[in-house]
Chain A
């Protein structure tokens, strides 16, 4: 409990210098009661967001989308089309905002960069031998550098879950620090792969570990394991960034990724951000959705609000 909600700023930068200090700190974080956390998340999910609030939420959600494709079958043509959609999600409506970022594999970064150049849409790339992270550190760092050189200004890395679960916190910490350094000016999102961490206690510890090591964002999932983002996992991560800022003064962003497909889902997340971390996080700089099909549902709901009639999938681009 010592780490949370304290108004006095603490210097936690020394923690990364010793495995013992890291372990003591992480294991000293308050526990998370699973049932209570899930009930709180479910309760927030019952908020009813209608009319003007819904319109506001939809536009915000569109601006927060990291429009993602992470397939072996991705081609330059596919990712160019995706980037074009990121810039103008609804070609029929110029008032529709652009998305937050496009997120692709490192090899696809140059093609996306061509399309996004000069725009405010960020270019994110999953580096560090995504999604398993099972490669030698040097190769992972080279992966990061290559992506940044090719034009990515955001790097989504995966942590070494095996090391984390085995309690080798120093190793995980050092890897994040090294990746952070390889990023240069690019922002670093640290993927915790919460579906493999199994408990909310682990999610809270991994969140703090990633923040202590310098991550700019903490992200739930790769989307490549069965359990991706959930509301309660995101709740625990939002509590962590809130408490981390209270403790250190540094604000860290949150990105749930995977499995968020509908406007209704997205709005539940925004309500949770609003009532957990607060309004400061209701901004694409501090909250993102890792998603692909979500965007079209947001666009359909947006059209419904402006025209009053329900659209169909044929009226929105497939990319």
Chain B
């Protein structure tokens, strides 16, 4: 009996909820697969998609965002084996699933933890609440391919931001596969956009783009590139998360700084009178 000939997957970009090839028509061979080699134009398109998604995503209720992030965990749980087959260790997949669950729960709690009433010295109601900063450009860590990726995407989007992620160039398959999870998880198109390819092409575009509000340099390992990206980010005063140390342990409690760095605090005053 002859063996069944497998149907191979084409690994494409994830932009605006769709899976386009790079507009440049380029791909590169990595992890035994042809993966789209995103261009600067792809990065710009992804920013446009991310911007378009901000209003709906930031405007969704925190409860709704929490539900959707939990849904991502559910779908990921069902696709566990798929990631294992890509070479992601099983315990890393488990940790990634658990991280989605952890962040899902933050959706409707961070405002209470990070905001609050301020007792001003006068007859005023005064309330500070966090709000998403907008579009975040993210350079995902090279390793761990799945847990690292989830650990930078989830804290950015749980509060209502949308992201354009430059996936690990050396291990992009987990990222593209995660995109398939996201695409089937009720997450609105454009909230997460994933680019595969060279950081030197995508990251500077994101860092210098004037319609990007923040940049997360976590996965940048080249100090010179990191500094250059930070300089570019200064042009419109993007909020910056600096590169993670090489020995960063992704399995520990992430804390809330990743979330809060990508938030704005808005303080509203109103007089109290009759």
Residues of A within 8 A of B (CB): 33-36, 38, 198-199
Whole-angstrom distance from the CB of B274 to the nearest CB of chain A? 5
A-B contact count (CB 8 A): 15
User: Which chain B residues lie closer than 8 Å to A33 at the CB level?
Assistant: 271, 273
Q: Cβ of B272 < 8 Å from any Cβ of A? A: yes
Question: In the bound complex, what is the Cα–Cα distance between A36 and B123 (angstroms)?
Answer: 10
Q: Which residues 246-274 in B have Cβ within 8 Å of A in the complex?
A: 271-274
User: Which chain B residues lie closer than 8 Å to A198 at the CB level?
Assistant: 274
Closest to A198 in B: B274
Question: In the bound complex, what is the Cα–Cα distance between A35 and B271 (angstroms)?
Answer: 6
A-B contact pairs, 15 of them (CB 8 A): A33-B271, A33-B273, A34-B271, A34-B273, A34-B274, A35-B122, A35-B123, A35-B124, A35-B271, A35-B272, A35-B273, A36-B271, A38-B273, A198-B274, A199-B274
Q: Which 5 A-B pairs have the closest CB atoms?
A: A34-B273, A35-B271, A35-B273, A35-B123, A199-B274
Whole-angstrom distance from the CB of A31 to the nearest CB of chain B? 10
Interface size on B, residues (CB 8 A): 7
User: Which chain B residues lie closer than 8 Å to A34 at the CB level?
Assistant: 271, 273-274
Whole-angstrom distance from the CB of B191 to the nearest CB of chain A? 40
User: Which chain A residues lie closer than 8 Å to B124 at the CB level?
Assistant: 35
Question: In the bound complex, what is the Cα–Cα distance between A198 and B274 (angstroms)?
Answer: 9
Question: In the bound complex, what is the Cα–Cα distance between A36 and B272 (angstroms)?
Answer: 10
User: Which chain A residues lie closer than 8 Å to B122 at the CB level?
Assistant: 35
Whole-angstrom distance from the CB of B55 to the nearest CB of chain A? 32
User: Which chain A residues lie closer than 8 Å to B272 at the CB level?
Assistant: 35
Pick from A34, A35, A36 the residue with the most CB of B within 10 Å: A35
Question: In the bound complex, what is the Cα–Cα distance between A198 and B122 (angstroms)?
Answer: 21
Question: In the bound complex, what is the Cα–Cα distance between A199 and B124 (angstroms)?
Answer: 18
User: Which chain B residues lie closer than 8 Å to A199 at the CB level?
Assistant: 274
User: Which chain B residues lie closer than 8 Å to A36 at the CB level?
Assistant: 271
Whole-angstrom distance from the CB of B181 to the nearest CB of chain A? 52
Question: In the bound complex, what is the Cα–Cα distance between A198 and B272 (angstroms)?
Answer: 15
Question: In the bound complex, what is the Cα–Cα distance between A38 and B271 (angstroms)?
Answer: 11
Whole-angstrom distance from the CB of A255 to the nearest CB of chain B? 24
Closest to A201 in B: B274
For B119-163 the 0/1 string (1 means CB < 8 A from A) is 000111000000000000000000000000000000000000000
Question: In the bound complex, what is the Cα–Cα distance between A34 and B124 (angstroms)?
Answer: 11
User: Which chain A residues lie closer than 8 Å to B273 at the CB level?
Assistant: 33-35, 38
User: Which chain A residues lie closer than 8 Å to B123 at the CB level?
Assistant: 35
User: Which chain B residues lie closer than 8 Å to A35 at the CB level?
Assistant: 122-124, 271-273
Whole-angstrom distance from the CB of A156 to the nearest CB of chain B? 27
Whole-angstrom distance from the CB of A125 to the nearest CB of chain B? 34
Closest to A32 in B: B273
Closest to B272 in A: A35
Question: In the bound complex, what is the Cα–Cα distance between A180 and B186 (angstroms)?
Answer: 73
Whole-angstrom distance from the CB of B122 to the nearest CB of chain A? 8
User: Which chain A residues lie closer than 8 Å to B271 at the CB level?
Assistant: 33-36
Closest to A37 in B: B273
Whole-angstrom distance from the CB of B30 to the nearest CB of chain A? 63
Question: In the bound complex, what is the Cα–Cα distance between A35 and B122 (angstroms)?
Answer: 9
Whole-angstrom distance from the CB of A183 to the nearest CB of chain B? 34
Whole-angstrom distance from the CB of A198 to the nearest CB of chain B? 7
Contacts A34-B274, A35-B123, A35-B124 given; 12 further ones with Cβ under 8 A? A33-B271, A33-B273, A34-B271, A34-B273, A35-B122, A35-B271, A35-B272, A35-B273, A36-B271, A38-B273, A198-B274, A199-B274
Closest to B271 in A: A35
Question: In the bound complex, what is the Cα–Cα distance between A119 and B18 (angstroms)?
Answer: 94
Q: Which residues 175-205 in B have Cβ within 8 Å of A in the complex?
A: none
Whole-angstrom distance from the CB of B270 to the nearest CB of chain A? 9
Question: In the bound complex, what is the Cα–Cα distance between A94 and B124 (angstroms)?
Answer: 52
Whole-angstrom distance from the CB of B272 to the nearest CB of chain A? 7
Whole-angstrom distance from the CB of B236 to the nearest CB of chain A? 36
Pick from B122, B123, B271 the residue with the most CB of A within 10 Å: B271
Whole-angstrom distance from the CB of A126 to the nearest CB of chain B? 29
Whole-angstrom distance from the CB of A37 to the nearest CB of chain B? 8
